[in-house]
Amino acid sequence: MEGAPDLAVKVASPRDDPDDLVLKAQQYLTAGARAAWIIYPEARLAYIYKPSQRPEVRDAGQSLDDAELLPGFSAPLSAILG
């Protein structure tokens, strides 16, 4: 497949290096992705990366959504984390 997806989602495992995950998110954005979500189940957080913006942090009390990429989609992060 050529290019990048509009949205990349990664669920971090305890073995993942956080710096490597940030680099991977930046690589997706550089390749043309419109957003990258990294979900950290143990920390109960999600980081939302978009081009030319600081990452947005969402906690288990918030939802994952993106009206531009996924119109009408919204999922409580707590439901995803279990």
CATH of the domain at 57: 3.90.1570.10
Within the chain, where are the H helices? 18-31, 77-81
Number of structural domains in the chain: 1
Structural domain harbouring 44 = 7-81
Instruction: Give the span between the Cα atoms of 34 and 8, in whole angstroms.
Output: 9
Task: Provide the pLDDT for residue 14.
Answer: 93
Q: What is the pLDDT of residue 1?
A: 59
Mean of the pLDDT values across residues 51-72?
96
The mean pLDDT of the chain is 94
In this predicted structure, what is the pLDDT of residue 4? 83
Instruction: Tell me, yes or no, whether 1 lies in a domain.
Output: no
Confidence class of residue 3 from pLDDT cuts 50, 70 and 90? confident
Q: Is residue 2 situated within a structural domain?
A: no
For position 2, what pLDDT does the model report? Answer: 72
Strand order from edge to edge, sheet including 35-40? 7-11, 35-40, 45-49, 56-59
- Mean pLDDT over 14-29 rounds to 95
